[in-house]
Amino acid sequence: MKLTKTNLDGVVIVEPNVFGDHRGWFMETYNEANLLEAGINIKFVQDNQSFSAAKGTLRGLHYQLEPKAQTKLVRCTRGAIYDVAVDIRKGSPTYGQWFGIDLTEQNKKQLLIPKGFAHGFMTITENVEVQYKVDELYAPECDRGIIWNDPIIGIKWPMDIKPILSEKDEKAPVLKDAENNFSYEE
């Protein structure tokens, strides 16, 4: 397994070892001991999976408030997405900054996103399946959002389009208005 740091402290690209042979391939998509060896101690408690039919679907930017903030380990198992993490940890030197990466069925890359980050992705193919592990159970009362195109955050999404959004995501606030919610201090 290869871990690569990003510009955001704690956001890490995870690349499992892939064992190919004449039948196809095998990989361990998650191994607690390997992450622990790298100093990453997470107890995941829930697995999620979403399907997005259309290219240009955008889910996010989402986070759960403390005490239900979630660490996420995200991968794309069908098609391809542009996955984004935004630092919303008050006091962080990279507060409001973002990191994005292509996660695809082909590249088998994963993104580890710690608590204190908002998360979202845009599908760059049709028929996308995303699977991710979280270390806190879903808590709808703590579920919050930030608008995908907040001009202050300035995420450079891969397609210059009006994405397909949920009603909730259509109405999400900008970071400035959302930040009164944040209790997560780095």
User: Please, where are the H alpha helices in the chain?
Assistant: 32-37, 167-170, 175-178
Cβ distance to ligand T46 smaller for residue 56 or 120: 120
Which strand ranges, in their side-by-side order, compose the sheet holding 46-52? Answer: 2-5, 12-15, 110-113, 72-78, 128-134, 46-52
List the beta bridge partners of residue 26: 19
22 is catalytic: no
- For ligand T46, the binding residues in 27-86 under the rule CB under 6 A are 48, 50, 59-60, 62
Cβ distance to ligand T46 smaller for residue 75 or 119: 119
Q: How far apart are CA 171 and CA 10, in angstroms?
A: 29
62 is catalytic: yes
Torsion of CA 52, 46, 3, 185, to 10 degrees: 100
Of 3-11, 98-106, 114-122, 176-184, the segment contacting ligand T46 by CB under 6 A is: 114-122
- The single residue listed with the structure tokens 């060896």 is 37
Q: Least separation, in Å, of the C-beta of 18 and ligand T46? A: 25
Q: Least separation, in Å, of the C-beta of 38 and ligand T46? A: 23
144 binds ligand T46 (CB under 6 A): no
Residues of this chain that interact with ligand T46 (CB under 6 A) are: 48, 50, 59-60, 62, 119-121, 138, 166
